[in-house]
Amino acid sequence: MSSTPQRLHPEQVAAFLERIGITGPLKPDADFLHRIHSAHLHAVPFENLSIHLGEDMSLDVQALYEKIVTRHRGGFCYELNGLLAVVLEGLGYRVHRLSARTFSAERGFSAPMDHLVLRVVDNAGESWLADVGYGRHTVYPLRYQDRTDQRDPGGLFRITEYEDGELDVLREGEAQYRVDPRPLALSDFVPAMWWQRTSPQALFTQSLICSMQTEGEGGGRVSLSGRKLIITDADGGRQEKELASDEEVLAAYRELFGFALTRVPHVRAGTVMGNGVD
């Protein structure tokens, strides 16, 4: 593990909770963790817009705070789970930052450090797998030690054991990612984030995505992929609309996701638009 962990001031922790619409009592128990997890998904978008806007990106905690809390932006796993980890530590939870390898049917499991997830220990000593940086996933954290089916508004999940202590997270019986249980520092993910934001092979350099959980706990989402607005509901319903003008795109970011952009992001030249997470 590298470097001394970064911290937030108590007033910054309070501002973060206000950002996601959470009030006290601030007790580091399982119930409060569930509230924070769900509220985060409903308030902070999963997005990769900084890559295509040419914005500086950093895993420095103060930079993450400024982006997500002050500017009301979102981010992807290293940013979202990275800042959440520090907030939870400020509230009294113990948090381990873990590497995960994401899975797709086309390529199998990715390289290590492709994803960041959190093991959170509450004040009763129970461990939870928390993840607010994976797009469509669980609404609530999963019981880390449980190897049975865990029902969540986002689907039916199960954590299974692989080799050498690694854990596979399944959704509806299909692998989502494989977790390495060895704790890391947030700074250990800096090279992986650099690859995600610069490599032509990375999904995030090939696509634009901004996506967030909609009201309620049934798994609905609203997503903007380039100019395509996608709204899904918990029952599998899906609506798509192509936004015709830059004004409509900027209004969608402002009205649906809660932040203002001065210009419309576009995928860099030479890359292919993907669907992202919807």
Backbone angles phi, psi at 138, to 5 degrees: -75, 145
For range 179-191, the mean pLDDT: 97
The set of catalytic residues is 77, 115, 131
For residue 111, what are the CA distances in angstroms to 43, 152, 260?
Answer: 30, 28, 34
Degrees, nearest 5: CA angle 58-99-62: 25
For range 183-205, the mean pLDDT: 95
For position 171, what pLDDT does the model report?
Answer: 96
Q: What is the CB neighbour count within 10 angstroms for residue 163?
A: 6
For position 272, what pLDDT does the model report?
Answer: 37
Average pLDDT of the chain, as a whole number: 92
Question: 53-62, 178-187, 228-237: which range is least confident on average?
Answer: 228-237
Confidence of residue 136 (pLDDT cuts 50, 70, 90): confident
> What is the distance between the alpha carbons of residues 134 and 1, in angstroms, rounded to a whole number?
24
For position 218, what pLDDT does the model report?
Answer: 65
Whether residue 249 has pLDDT greater than 60 = yes
Query: What number of H helices and E strands is found in the chain?
Result: 8, 14
- Per the listing, tokens 């090279």 go with 191
> What is the distance between the alpha carbons of residues 224 and 229, in angstroms, rounded to a whole number?
5
Backbone angles phi, psi at 32, to 5 degrees: -70, -35
> Checking DSSP bridges between strand 221-225 and strand 228-232, what pairing results, if any?
antiparallel
Per residue in 42-64, pLDDT tens? 999 999 999 999 999 999 999 99
Confidence of residue 216 (pLDDT cuts 50, 70, 90): low
For position 4, what pLDDT does the model report?
Answer: 55
